[in-house]
Structure 1
């Protein structure tokens, strides 16, 4: 039986080596930007070439690693524990199929990233290819598939299949709500255990409500503080819970605090533009705080794109010769757009023209589309981690206020 078994493995090895040659050609083809762009709705780019010396080195290393992998398989060597936390459990090392799938996956990943480094192209094309390959590798990890995930299989055995049934129920629930559950959303409610700092609406128009918070000190500073959060998220990122609320902290320090709470736009606001948000929201909020507080100048804080909007509003005021804001604080705010970081892979003139045709004359970008884009910037942590936990293992993610807020997305005109 041992001879037959080894012969079977040898035959499988020959088949696998044949597939290696085919796989190598497919990897070269899939690395073309047009293929990766189509897969991820990214702008297409022209064909690329590879540095011959780097390409040869990657291919040689790939073939050597394939031979090493099959040598271990033929000798039935137990796989060592992986440093990658997705495959780090002992169940992975003790399950031959799972262990082999991890080794083959890591071999393929190593080769693909080597090919990325060998690409001869402009910096933007190289960045797009790298981003696309990383997305593909994150999606194709063995941990994302029940047939390979040794931890999920072990849990199914221990629970007599209950984890699989719960995983299917979780999947159906998330399909119904339109997004992957990153936390136990049933544990949170705005006004009950998030966004609990006491305040009131003191002004509103069709774009926003202006909130003023009840003082927590006998006296307050004469100059009020206005906070402008991002319009692509809910304002209570600044007021999650009492022990991590920037709003409560500011009020407790004696600041008379006002916060812009953006309306989640519907079709009636689809025609609104950036200029409208600056004029009818940020500038209006500044003037309203001045009027309510009777202050010649105010302090302001902008967070994320709220900071970008605040900076724009201050530029408009400066052009008018007005200085109603004495000091301004920016948190995680992009003002210089010369380097937009990883988001640059999505943007070029053709992509902008496409978006202008889609919604340049009015329309809404769904909040979930924005949220998904940001999640896929960290796919292993913010997408596939929850696919594995929620659906393959049937787990309920732990309650986390920040992730509850992150799932509470808003639309954008």
Structure 2
């Protein structure tokens, strides 16, 4: 390929292995279940325990991202709206609900029906009501894990006791459905895979500290799929070892994710799935690489294998990113700006993702005051393109790039 026609980003060779891994996952939950029950779960639910109870986990949130990336999001959202659901409801939820009412318009024909539904309140309260609807629609049992919001830097002892009791109750709930005995040995094996995978994912994200960065945020958005849907499996661990080797090779050879890295950016919030590559190519062509994102940090909580496994499960899921106060999130962003040598911050104010978007302006103000690094908020959505105006957003972003140029 000539220099003139070369794309502004360098595609990861591991992408073809990712596709095979995820195709096997969807084949398994759709056809190769071998009698294993399916649980629809939220991204903040303790999947290691759910797997140890004999279930195959399915993530409607992840499926919402697939609906957006496949350009099916708007149609599915409108189907849900036709059934009486508000346009202001989370577009992940509307896409999933739309796929339930009309599987013919859903990617892959929609998700397989669940045998039970498990939700945790540590990511978003909308999920609790969304999954209550799912359970009622499919007429299956529903379990909610109530995880207190973490206002302070240290959680209260009562919080841990409260969550621990709920996890014990959840095991009883799940095994009564799966008709399997909870195995501590199986749980520890799954936890070991999960722990090693999380460490690798953290190392993969941290390759962005190198200059030039071998990884760009859209790579991380795509390649985070296994750590969401397949966390705790041997195949996922093997996959991230491969991806990490590829990024290490790029570092050794001085190869960046984009050509001629000029600006290093931080991304906040969920990806704009329906316009993912066109949106980020706008930056790549101007030498701007997203070396770190808060969204992909959500699955980076490390396990301490010397501690009690249930208590570690409580700690990891209690401290989910969106379950932390704005002050703690701002402090985490300040650290990222410094550690990754960030030049600018792009905050996606998602129209239908209230928990992530509310408070972004205050967080940005604090981060800029502390670090001197400028930022900008852009209006869009993760799945529904009706909340996004490309020309308007690009004009604002172009002005921001020009601001960064004056600072170099």
TM > 0.5: no
**Greater Rg, structure 1 or structure 2?**
1
TM-score by length of 1: 0.25
TM-score normalized by the length of structure 2: 0.25
